[in-house]
Structure 1
Amino acid sequence: MTDTAVVPRTPLTVLGTGAMGTALARVWLAAGHEVTVWNRTAARAEPIAAEGATVAASAADAVAANRLVIVCLLDDASVGEALDGADLAGRDLVNLTTGTPAEGRARAAWAEERGARFLDAGIMAVPPMIGAPDSGGYVFYSGSPELFEEHRDTLGVPAGTRFVGADTGFAALHDVALLSAMSGMFAGITHAFALIRPEDIAPKDFAPLLADWLTAMAPAVHQTADRLESGDHTRNVVSSLAMQAAGVPTFLRTAEEQHVSPELLAPYLRLMERRVAQGHGEEDGTGMIELLDLRRGA
């Protein structure tokens, strides 16, 4: 987060006062910014109005109130519906709505055709992390570098900022890539706890073992990046793909013995076996990324 003592108090508009929009607006208000808000269900804007925000009667009125417009709605379709009919000429539109890279690029072109400058964003935080400097939360931004630099201090008030490129789709791509990795980790955690659940093993005793193990495995991220950039998937391999694939039957038999569905684990194991069958058993798992790349006809 930016030190609010030195941030210009730029007036701004927030479209959407759900949990995240309200959290963002609340922090900007606390930092001394004039905030105008709009929400499709007007009653949901009442709590933030009580804290000093101005509630606009319509999205168009909210857009007209300030040059800097923050959009935090349900999805890309909601953005189009909310802004339909609003005069965007001369506005700086920052879209914090979760979407896909293609949606971000298309929305940028749509906004620019209407005379607005545009940034897309991906929020790597949940509402309680907003305004909490030590939470680790931040927001990816992509699009106009000049627009980002102009509003960097204001955007940095509620959470850290990370500009990831002039390609407007990159914020959403970074966001979804990280969330996809998180989903895979949660799938592994879910499967692990399912395996021990029938036994006399306290989840609270198992949890620190699991957390420490996942932490110990985290450096594999950097090793994967190194191998992808070098193109050599056999560099410094400690546990080969063939060795890992040899454990697949044990994983599946254990799940069967524990009466646990293998559905979270099986797709990854099948991918591993497929890569080995193609003659890449001496690699680590990095080469499996090629199997996921549909452009290669995998």
Structure 2
Amino acid sequence: MSHESPSLVPASAGSVSVIGLGQMGSALAEAFLAAGRTTTVWNRTPAKADALVERGAVRADSIADAVAAGDAVVVCVLDYAAVRELLDPVVGVLAGRTLVNLTSGSPEQARESAAWAAGHGFSYLDGAVMTTPPGIGRPSSMILCSGSPAAFAEHREALAALGDPVDLGEDAGLAALYDTGLLGLMWSVFAGWLHAAALVGVDGVPAGAFTPLAIRWLTTVGGFMETYAPQLDACRYPGDDATVAVQLAAVDHLLEASRARGVDTRLPELHRDMMAKTVASGHGQDSYARVIEQFRGA
């Protein structure tokens, strides 16, 4: 089935245009199509739209046509500079529409983009897709959104085709801020798991046997995080569970076991150094949450 692009026709309510058809952009477009949304697609390389057109998408002949066809215009390209390069020439067509920017960037870039949108008379939502392309469309996949509350309310149902839309509020920079923080958490968890798998693997424990217990343990760790979060906000760290001093002694066991097995010790050494500095500053009897002050530079 082939769909031709009408030139600059008024967008129908609930229609979506997707600009940028890399792996993620294509997955976004496929999810909108699966949800029954009228979906117009555009990419610098037109052939990237072929498979989507076969599934029922409308191919836009130009980026202006793509913008005009969508009640919501979803852009997912390399970076924010590419967003501006593509959309500045057609910024007048965006007036009265909502731009949903799912391009990765910094909080500062997101806030600048929101100001740019406001200056040109269109609504702006910045977003972060907290999954890889195969996870698009799963209800468990978070789609972080920040920016215009009215735009989020208007397009929430459409965004739900991609996953679970999470509204972070009016500050357009919050989606990117949460994104960077959550990715840092992911990499830290991955690093800890890989180090642990290497450690037990030396003694012949397969990663497949160790990992179910690691996942179970992360549920417990999540409970600790919920306990510590109010302490972080209040900057008060009562040591009514395992104190920093107790955990500093425990990390030495991890270092000893790592050295004995020839496993890289840089990660546990970082943990030890942060704890040791906390103890040296006179806070060894506080909860582990006190270590945040090392990251804060206090």
User: Are the counterparts in 2 of residues 191 and 265 from structure 1 also a CA contact under 8 Å?
Assistant: no
**5+ residue gaps in structure 1?**
1-7
The residue correspondences of 1:274-285 to structure 2 (distance < 5 A) are: 274-285=277-288
Deviations 1:78-106 (A, max 9, x none): 21222231233222111111222111111
- Alignment partner, residue 109 of structure 2: 103
Rounded Cα–Cα distance in structure 1 between residues aligned with 2:49 and 2:164: 25
Rounded Cα–Cα distance in structure 2 between residues aligned with 1:163 and 1:157: 15
Please identify which structure carries the higher helix content. Answer: 2
User: Are the counterparts in 1 of residues 143 and 162 from structure 2 also a CA contact under 8 Å?
Assistant: no
Rounded Cα–Cα distance in structure 1 between residues aligned with 2:30 and 2:161: 11
1:283 Cα shift? 1.1
Deviations 1:201-257 (A, max 9, x none): 23222222222222222201101112123432015x321101111233332222221
Q: 2:118 aligns with which of 82, 107, 112?
A: 112
Q: 2:26 aligns with which of 22, 25, 44?
A: 22
Q: Are 1:11 and 2:18 matched, yes or no?
A: no
Deviations 1:53-89 (A, max 9, x none): 1222333331132231011122222212222312332
User: Are the counterparts in 1 of residues 251 and 268 from structure 2 also a CA contact under 8 Å?
Assistant: no
Matched residue of 1:60: which SS? Answer: helix
- Alignment partner, residue 95 of structure 2: 89
TM-score, normalised via structure 2 length:
0.89
- Alignment partner, residue 5 of structure 1: none
Matched residue of 2:267: which SS? Answer: coil
Rounded Cα–Cα distance in structure 1 between residues aligned with 2:246 and 2:31: 51
The residue correspondences of 1:173-252 to structure 2 (distance < 5 A) are: 173-234=177-238, 237-252=240-255
Deviations 1:26-71 (A, max 9, x none): 1211222211111223222221111111222333331132231011
Rounded Cα–Cα distance in structure 2 between residues aligned with 1:132 and 1:229: 33
- Alignment partner, residue 254 of structure 1: 257
Structure 1's consecutive aligned runs of 4 or more residues displaced over 6 angstroms after TM superposition are none
Q: 1:35 aligns with which of 19, 39, 61?
A: 39
Rounded Cα–Cα distance in structure 2 between residues aligned with 1:62 and 1:268: 50
Rounded Cα–Cα distance in structure 2 between residues aligned with 1:82 and 1:197: 50
Q: Which deviates more from structure 2 when the two are superposed, residues 215-224 or residues 263-272?
A: 263-272
- Alignment partner, residue 78 of structure 1: 82
Rounded Cα–Cα distance in structure 2 between residues aligned with 1:68 and 1:203: 44
One-letter amino acid of the counterpart of residue 205, structure 1: A
Q: Are 1:126 and 2:132 matched, yes or no?
A: yes
Rounded Cα–Cα distance in structure 1 between residues aligned with 2:35 and 2:259: 56
User: Are the counterparts in 1 of residues 100 and 127 from structure 2 also a CA contact under 8 Å?
Assistant: yes
One-letter amino acid of the counterpart of residue 196, structure 1: V
Aligned residues: 285
User: Are the counterparts in 2 of residues 119 and 168 from structure 1 also a CA contact under 8 Å?
Assistant: yes
TM-score, normalised via structure 1 length:
0.89
- Alignment partner, residue 53 of structure 2: 49
Q: Which deviates more from structure 2 when the two are superposed, residues 33-42 or residues 261-270?
A: 261-270
One-letter amino acid of the counterpart of residue 110, structure 1: W
**5+ residue gaps in structure 2?**
1-11
Q: Which deviates more from structure 2 when the two are superposed, residues 163-172 or residues 193-202?
A: 193-202
1:119 Cα shift? 0.7
Rounded Cα–Cα distance in structure 2 between residues aligned with 1:89 and 1:9: 15
1:9 Cα shift? 6.0
Identity of matched residues, %: 40
- Alignment partner, residue 4 of structure 1: none
Q: 1:138 aligns with which of 134, 138, 142?
A: 142
